[in-house]
Amino acid sequence: MTTVPPMIRPVVQQRSPFWLLVTSFFQREVRARYKRSLLGWMWSLINPLSTVLIYSIVFGVFLRTAPPTTKNASAELFAVYLFAGLVGWNLFANVVNGSMDWLAGVMDLRKKVFFPTETAILGGTLATLVQTLFEVAVLLAIMLALGNISFTFLLFFPILLGVASFGLGIGLVISVLNARFRDVRYLTGIALSLQFFLVPIVYPIGLLDGPDIDTYGLPARELVAWNPVSQFVQGAHDVVYFLEVPSLGRCLAMIGYAVVSPTIGLWYFRKRSMAISEEL
């Protein structure tokens, strides 16, 4: 038996100034972030910098992870390598995690007025991108100070846009699942911790290359190499740390992930989000 999908055509939907909604939620997110905290937006810097400090001590000092060699020896600092990768990773993780809150934050509203809820997630993603720009500014200052800078740094921006877009696609799916099953938030937390170590952030990708590396039969190298987030993070390393244009394969992979993920995410979100107003 086939059921005819219910058709509803509110003209509201067609004429809705989508971007005005996105702007409103962007504003809301920017304002709500770090509200009632003394240091306010400073936290956007303190957070990643403290992470850099901690990981530098743990991995760079205790575990003696050596940064990969680059053309400019003065920049061969583990903390710099780490920071270059962490900016992209944080953006990805914040968008994925945030999407659940952004959707939950407009649920009350959505139960009373119809509007496309993906605008809230889009607004939140944009706010996260703006926050990331602070980190980029600090990274840029460091690189200028170290003299490790090239025009390739400009490519950092499209790469960050790409990682945000990739995260957005995943966030769209996860947020709508989370509205239905509260487990999703916890599962996401676990998946992100695992994923963090599957991306060469606290170690150089070459670490997995040596012949004496025993991965106990796990395809560790493949998991890291083919990981979508890895591509973006390695892309970031390329343009910020090694000062190289990423390989054609990597560029295509990044473009592909940045386009396919939100396309699928949006399709799934729109298919499922009509029913979430009925979740109590």
Contacts with other proteins by CB under 8 A lie at 3-4, 6-13, 15-17, 20-21, 24, 27-28, 31-32, 106, 108-115, 181-183, 274-275, 277-278, 280
Shortest CB 276 distance to other proteins, Å = 10
CA Rg value for the chain: 20
Q: Is 36 or 64 the residue whose CB approaches other proteins more closely?
A: 36
Shortest CB 278 distance to other proteins, Å = 6
CB 125 within 8 A of CB 96: no
Shortest CB 9 distance to other proteins, Å = 6
Shortest CB 269 distance to other proteins, Å = 15
Q: Is 11 or 154 the residue whose CB approaches other proteins more closely?
A: 11
CB 188 within 8 A of CB 100: yes
Shortest CB 120 distance to other proteins, Å = 10
Q: Which of 261, 231, 233 is nearest to 249 (CA)?
A: 231
Q: Is 65 or 273 the residue whose CB approaches other proteins more closely?
A: 273
Tokens read off for 250: 């990597």
Q: Is 5 or 147 the residue whose CB approaches other proteins more closely?
A: 5
Distances (CA, A) of 83 to 11, 25, 145, 176: 48, 29, 15, 32
Bin 36: left if φ > 0, else alpha if -120 < ψ < 50, else beta.
Answer: left
The b-or-e profile of 67-94 (16+ CB within 10 A means b, else e) is: bbebebeebbbbbbbbbbbbbbbbbbbb
Q: Is 186 or 197 the residue whose CB approaches other proteins more closely?
A: 186
> Distance (Å, rounded) from C-alpha 66 to C-alpha 51?
18
